[in-house]
Structure 1
Amino acid sequence: MGRKRDTPTIRRRTLLAAAASVGGSSVIGTATAKRSERSSRRCPEATIEPDAAPCDGASTDGCADDHPTTAEFRERARAAIEDQYATVGDLLDRGFVPYFDAARLESENGWSHWLHPAHIGDDVVLDPGRPEAVLVDNEFWRPIGVMFIATVDGDPVERPPVLYAREDAESETTDDSPAAGRRCSPWHYHRGLPGRFAWKYYRQVYEHDYREGDLSLPCRTPCVLHVWTVPHPDGTHAHGAPPPAERGGPPANDPGFETDVDPAETRLGWGVLPDDVVPDRKPGELLDFW
């Protein structure tokens, strides 16, 4: 169990890459798309294309990169990356597992999610030193941010905690909260098929949901929140990844594990990782199953 924290905490489980899939629809086969259409009555808000929506109570109206809380989260996340998660080898050594969106694997804009099952399974979230996920640029093998997941005992939190409310911003809305209109609570969930599939893939491969007979895709992912540690034109908590030009150019990071691959010449992906961390069935091989 996690220790008591000063920052808001919630517990247990997560999603793998709710964050995942800008452009992920190109990997989805026709059969999968048709099955998704047939399931629309079960998941009326779900889409086939990548799509995300704000979580209940979410707001970015009060978010500002120069706000002390945002600055603290960003600097703590950056320090954790530098001290603990600087290389892919560090991630492997510390128990993170990779997810690569098949559509973006060879893309110059490619980035991947590295999930930590133990962090996902404890009662701590919103701790930049112990993130549920580290976000990695595939071109230069470089961590570029962290991702938090909002769940309690495996169940999604419908209204995740607010990061902060800006007292210096005027509210022009009425709501059940006096901070309405000036909250910074940038949580979002994924309802598009790529993100839903990514979460299901994680649960099947690393949490073995199939053993409980659960083979269906979820209607949506739990809520997630990003903290980018490199410059982002849309802000520290932006939904999408920063442009490649903002992720720090060459040289590529050292692999951090023994390999004959040169990161300066090869993008990060399944094929360059040690055999013992590559799952038997990769995402592209399971898409038509669902």
Structure 2
Amino acid sequence: MTDGERTGISRRTVLRASGTAAAVPILGANRTSADETAAPAPSPALPGDCPDATVEPSMTHCEGTTTEGCADDHPATTELQSAVRETLAETYPTVGALLDAGFKPYFDTLDVTEENGYAHWLSPEFIGDETVLDPERPESVLVDTGSWRAIGVMFIATHDGEAVEPMAVYDDSEGRCSPWHAHTGLPGRFAWWYYQHVYEGTDDIEFSLPCRTPCMLHVWAVDHPEGVYAHDAPPDSARDREPAADAGFETDADPGADELGWEVLPDAVTPDRLPDEIPLLN
């Protein structure tokens, strides 16, 4: 789920999670492969039954999806982006509005070496319902951590919290547009595991990550140079906006002056165990 999935993570993190000699014991010991080179044993980060899973950030297209027919000026795209912009402006104008609506914050971890500068806010209600690709019910809102403003949404293809096959944005005489992707790299798989265990109320902490996330699709509200459905984060130049005038909740931090992160949020919405406190990463 972290959208630094094309962004590198540090060698220290790779060694921690891959089961090499520098990793903690819980992640598995080395084994010797057929060519007598050391290979990581199956571990929570790289389960043996997940051949596509990687420690490095990575993604894959979902079955039946394609970006070849996607166009920013297609009526379906302009309608969807306009509806997303309206929802963000009218329903979620502040971080406080997201908190009031029950969205849960997730700030990327795993020593990402190039900061994306935005965070995912996830809605258990919308992830748990039966709607998909509804601009009024986005499963995740993407918030710039500098300006504290929403810059887009991430739709997640789930019904009742379980992954489902996603629908196309459009499929007509002009082409098929279905730009869904799933994360197979450690940062994204860990983020989805963390959401399920911490925010969906699962008390037992098992160190077995999913092989991949559900299918996901970005719609950027800002003018992204790579397009409305681009996977990577928009550059700073595309996010050159005035900071939010109000945080929308009681805090000593100021949008634009202070970075939006765990430390500025109310204690009531901060999880007891933050991502970097999970033993899997220590």
What band does the TM-score fall into relative to the shorter chain? 0.7 to 0.9
The residue number in structure 1 matching 2:168 is 162
What code does the residue aligned with 2:9 have?
A: S
Give the aligned CA root-mean-square deviation in angstroms.
2.3
Equivalent pair of 1:28/1:288 in contact (CA under 8 Å): no
User: Which one has the bigger helix percentage?
Assistant: 1
Secondary structure of 1:146's aligned partner: strand
**Residues 58-85 of structure 1: per-residue CA shift (max 9 Å, x gap):** 1011111111111111000100000011
Deviation string 1:212-260 (CA, Å, 9 cap, x unpaired) is x754100100000111000011111111111111013334442111212
- For residues 150-198 of structure 1, the C-alpha deviation after alignment (integer angstroms, 9 at most, x for no partner) is 12344322x4211112413xxxxxxxxxxxxx31000000000000000
Structure 2 residue 59 is matched with structure 1 residue 56: no
1:247 to 239, 244, 259: 239
Aligned twin of 1:67: 74
Q: Deviations over 1:4-51 (max 9, x none)?
A: xxxxxxxxxxxxx35465547337363322138422422111011110
User: Contact 1:23–1:103 (CA<8 Å) still a contact in 2?
Assistant: no
Counterparts of 1:253 and 1:21 in 2: how far apart (Å)?
31
Indicate the SS of the match to 2:96. helix
User: In the aligned structure 2, how far is the partner of 1:85 from the partner of 1:250?
Assistant: 16
* Cα offsets for 1:83-136 (capped at 9, x unmatched): 011110111111101000035799663110000111111111211011111001
**1:283 maps to what in 2?**
275
Distance change >3 Å, CA 29–CA 281, structure 1 → 2: farther
Task: Report if aligned partners of 2:155, 2:216 keep a CA contact under 8 Å in 1.
Answer: yes
- Is 1:25 the counterpart of 2:9? The answer is yes
Give the conservation status (yes or no) of the 8 Å contact 1:20–1:112: no
How does 1:264-279 map onto structure 2 within 5 Å?
A: 264-279=256-271
What secondary structure sits across from 2:60 in the alignment? strand
1:207 to 181, 200, 205: 200
Show the counterpart of 1:38: 41
- Secondary structure (helix, strand or coil) at the match of 1:125 reads coil
Q: How does 1:99-110 map to 2 (within 5 A)?
A: 99-102=106-109, 109-110=116-117
Q: 3-state SS of the aligned residue for 2:9?
A: helix
Greater Cα shift, 33-42 or 50-59:
33-42
Alignment TM-score, normalising by the size of structure 1:
0.82
* Native 8 Å contact 1:114 1:136 kept in 2: yes
Q: Residue 223 of structure 2 corresponds to which residue in structure 1? A: 231
Residue 21 of structure 1 contacts residue 101 of structure 1 at CA under 8 Å; is this kept in 2? no
Partner residue of 1:121? 128
Amino acid aligned to 1:63: C
Match of 1:47 in 2: 54
Cα distance in 1 between the residues matched to 2:122 and 2:209: 19
SS of the residue corresponding to residue 152 of structure 2 reads: strand
Q: CA deviation at 1:210?
A: 4.1
SS in 2 for 1:102: coil
TM-score (norm 2): 0.84
Q: What is the match of residue 148 of structure 1? A: 155
Deviates more, 1:187-196 or 1:240-249: 240-249
AA at the equivalent of 1:120: I
Residue 55 of structure 2 contacts residue 186 of structure 2 at CA under 8 Å; is this kept in 1?
Answer: yes
SS at match of 1:70: helix
Aligned residues of 1:134 and 1:145 also touching (Cα < 8 A): yes
2:113 & 2:268 partners in 1: Cα distance? 22
Pair 1:25–1:105, CA change in 2 (3 A): closer
Query: How many residues align structurally?
Result: 259
Higher relative contact order (CA 8 A, sep 6+): 1
CA contact (8 A) 1:52 1:189 kept: yes
Q: Secondary structure at the match of 2:88?
A: helix
Counterparts of 1:45 and 1:161, CA distance in 2: 23
